Amino acid sequence: MSRIVFSNQLLGIGLVSLACLVSSPFVWAAENEAEKKLQLCGEMPLKELLDPVKPDPKKNKVLDLEASGVLKHSDHYYVVFDNIRKVAKIPVVDTGDLKQDCSEKFPGFKKGEWIGSFNDELPGFEGIAYDRDTERFIVAVESRAEGLGPKYNPWVEELTQESVLENVLKWTLNREQKLSDFPAQSANKGVEGLVWTNFGTVAGVEGKGLLLALCEGTKCGNNNGGRGLIRTFQRNNEQWVKVGDILLPENKAKFGDFSGLAITTEGEENKSLLKMAVVSQEDKKIWVGRISLAEWESTLGQNRDLDLAADQGEVYLFPKRRISKKEAEKFNLDQSKKYAVYCNVEGLAWVDRNILVAVSDRVKNKQKEKACPAGQMSIHMFRIPE
């Protein structure tokens, strides 16, 4: 295995997570960790940005918007949902004034639109990426049962966005494929995050991208000892073939699940480092670290894992926030107190070097924190103070 050590000094700039909603910076101290600050730029429930989805147009039933992944591509955010086989397309927010202080400068999210037609017989998606090599979107189906047992494997579908009529968009399915050599833990513990990337000569092939798939559970792949795992694939003869694994830190990122992945380079001034953020819905934390691209490249295709050092990187906790009067009345809460409301973050993407966009799922019935519904099924934007 190849083991990478991160420089903690570098981590102050790049964080990301979705965390909680607060109108000004706040501090939440974690046991045995330094205090961290996140600043909310803005958020909005997705139902206020998108037209309702009705399984039966003749009936009034409206589906919840259970967001599971987000991608920033060109001038839009693309959001996928695990209960709806459609993709939301929301205009990008101008972050030019948010780099230094976003407390009162957030311009707000704009109304979005749907791509695709509803089909309640097929599953929704758990992640979305954009392949610049083929100019196709890639969406992940968490897992499908196969054979006796049964066994479960994640699948990906490659889609092309097309305009049918003015203001009417649809998807064309170009290809679907099982992510081989990636057995899922169960029917609902498969792929939970998807990223496509091409950083120069990574993997030694100029212009050939990599697809990174985040495992939701702690027993994906080769039973990775309860650690977080990101499996890396590369296209070979129109098939996605495994070329390596990234094992997340066994101490710093020792989470019960993993629900979102975001990566980027450090910017024009430093393209030799990859900035990565992983969020846990169950632990309500995110881990952030940096990887040497040269070190990563040396492991790809060599049957060696990129084994990240146990105590490297940084962990950030979701902040608590005060709730609105409407929320207090709806959920029977005390408006004078701060609550943890970000309990279901499932997708995130870098917007700028210190700004992240995130989306959240619907609250699960088993979750006991009574304020969690205040932060569900929304799109959020956070700034990491420098």
The pLDDT, as a whole number, for residue 367 is 67
The pLDDT, as a whole number, for residue 3 is 45
Is residue 184 pLDDT above 70, yes or no? no
The pLDDT, as a whole number, for residue 129 is 94
The pLDDT, as a whole number, for residue 47 is 96
Is residue 202 pLDDT above 80, yes or no? no
Is residue 111 pLDDT above 90, yes or no? yes
Task: Record the pTM.
Answer: 0.84
- Please state the domain count of the chain: 1
Give per-residue pLDDT as tens, 51-107: 999 877 778 889 999 999 999 999 999 999 999 988 999 999 877 766 666 766 778
CATH number of the domain at 246, please. 2.115.10
Give per-residue pLDDT as tens, 247-276: 999 888 889 899 999 998 765 556 678 888
Give per-residue pLDDT as tens, 216-252: 877 765 555 678 889 888 887 777 888 888 999 988 8
- φ, ψ of residue 295 in degrees (nearest 5): -65, -40
The pLDDT, as a whole number, for residue 100 is 64
Average pLDDT for the chain? 77
Q: State percent of the chain over pLDDT 70.
A: 74
Range of the domain at 229: 2-383
Handedness of CA 292, 33, 220, 85 (dihedral sign): negative
The pLDDT, as a whole number, for residue 15 is 31
Is residue 210 pLDDT above 50, yes or no? yes
Is residue 361 pLDDT above 90, yes or no? yes
Three-state secondary structure readout of 69-119 = EEEEECCEEEEEECCCCCEEEEECCCCCCCCCCCCCCCCCCCCCEEECCCC
